[in-house]
Structure 1
Amino acid sequence: MKKAIHTEQAPQAIGPYSQAVQVGNLLFTSGQLGMDPVNNIFPATTAEQAKQSLENVKAIVETAGGTMSDIIKTTVFLKDMNDFASVNEVYASFFEQPYPARSAVEVARLPKDALVEIEVIVQL
Structure 2
Amino acid sequence: MTLHQTLLPDGWPRPKGYANGILAEGRMIFTGGVIGWDEQERIVADDLPGQFRQVMKNILAILATGGAGPEHIVRLTWYITDRDAYLAAQAEIGAIWRDHMGRNYPAMAVVTVTSLMEAAAKMEIEATAVLPVPAS
Number of the residue aligned with 1:25: 27
1:1-124 correspondence runs (5 A): 25-38=27-40, 40-84=42-86, 85=90, 86-113=92-119, 114-124=121-131
- Alignment TM-score, normalising by the size of structure 1: 0.73
In structure 2, C-alpha distance between the alignment counterparts of 1:105 and 1:93, rounded to whole Å: 23
In structure 2, C-alpha distance between the alignment counterparts of 1:102 and 1:92, rounded to whole Å: 15
Gaps of 5+ in 2: 1-25, 132-136
- Alignment TM-score, normalising by the size of structure 2: 0.67
Number of the residue aligned with 2:18: none
Give identity over the alignment, percent.
Answer: 28
1:24-62 deviation line (CA, Å, top 9, x unaligned): 701110010001113523311111001001100000000
Deviation for aligned residue 1:93: 2.6
After the TM superposition, which parts of structure 1 deviate over 6 Å for at least 4 consecutive aligned residues? none
In structure 2, C-alpha distance between the alignment counterparts of 1:117 and 1:29, rounded to whole Å: 11
Gaps of 5+ in 1: 1-23
In structure 2, C-alpha distance between the alignment counterparts of 1:68 and 1:89, rounded to whole Å: 15
The alignment of Structure 1 onto Structure 2 pairs a total of residues equal to 101
The worse-fitting range, judged by mean Cα deviation, of 77-86 and 38-47 is 38-47
Higher relative contact order (CA 8 A, sep 6+): 2
AA paired with 2:56? L
RMSD: 1.7
